[in-house]
Copies of this chain bind each other. A is one copy, B any other.
Amino acid sequence: MIDDTDREQGTEFLPRFDANGLLTAVVIDRSSKDVLMVAFMDREALDATLETGEAHFHSRSRGRLWKKGETSGNILRVAEIGVDCDQDALVLKVEPGGPVCHTGARSCFYRRLDDGRLTFVDS
């Protein structure tokens, strides 16, 4: 049994996967610090990321391992991984090889909410 205090205050990496077996992964640009995308990792995706240094996720819609850039070629080199207090979320600091969003945008966050409507922002 893993103690909460160990998880929060220790130096051991004890990822806490949720009921669906997933961690939340926030991908940010190492240089600009912009949030580029949010995705999920199961144990397989985490291990593949740590082994290769390239971001892998678990696609909830396709139910399988998904190497970011496997189709587009825009892989994400992971420079650093931040871990949160209860170890159920990661921040991946990456050097993007191109647009991160499947729409072709630099970041998936290309809109902001203004008075209930979305406004396109520079991304």
**Alpha-carbon distance between A110 and B18 when the two chains are bound, in angstroms:** 21
B117 touches A13 (CB 8 A): yes
| A 49-82 to B, binary, CB cutoff 8 A, 1 in contact else 0 | 0100000000010000000000000000000111
Q: Which residues of B contact A103 (CB under 8 A)?
A: 8-9, 85
A3 within 8 A of partner (CB): no
A48 within 8 A of partner (CB): no
What residues of chain A have their CB less than 8 Å away from a CB belonging to chain B?
8-13, 18, 24, 26, 28, 32-35, 37-38, 50, 60, 80-86, 89-91, 101-103, 105, 108-113, 116-121
Partner of A110, one of B38, B85, B110, B121: B85
Give min CB distance, A76 to chain B, whole Å: 16
